[in-house]
Amino acid sequence: VSTAFGSLAMMTSVLVSPHGYWEYEAAHGTVQRHYYKHLRGEKTSTNSVATIFAWSGALRKRGELDGTPDLVRFADALERATIGTIESGKMTGDLARITTLPNPQQLDTEEFILAIADRLAKELA
């Protein structure tokens, strides 16, 4: 669905074994071309949403298992900040090309992560 109607970089997977082990992953794999551009010092516009949600899912699960509600709240806030950043019109190039939002602000990889961090800081304040 994400490749046909959006961006593959928005897809995450949650795998659960019969023994109750959980794994959260960014299902799209590594963006090799962007990595090599980064190594050359060039700007990239890598969508990190799937990676962020893989981490937030794992952090939430760890918080649930350990009984640490602050970690669960942080994971929830991180996801809200990520979605809110995109819904506010700040997004990576792959999303800017397909959004129906008027005048999206296309951010490079670092700008996108910093925009999420800024929104997250406000949410946690």
3-state secondary structure of 23: strand
Consecutive H or E run containing 91: strand 90-91
Rounded distance, CA 8 to CA 50, Å?
9
Listed in sequence order, the residues at least 6 apart from 49 whose beta carbon sits closer than 8 Å to its beta carbon are 7, 9, 10, 82, 86
User: What residues contact 36, with CB distance under 8 A and at least 6 apart?
Assistant: none
CA 101 to chain centre: 19
Query: What confidence tens digit (pLDDT) does each residue in 58-90 have?
Result: 999 999 999 999 999 999 999 999 999 999 999
Residue 105 or residue 24, greater confidence: 105
Q: How high does pLDDT run on average in the chain?
A: 87
Task: Please report where in the chains the tokens 């023994």 appear, as a residue.
Answer: 19
- Tokens 């670092």 belong to 110
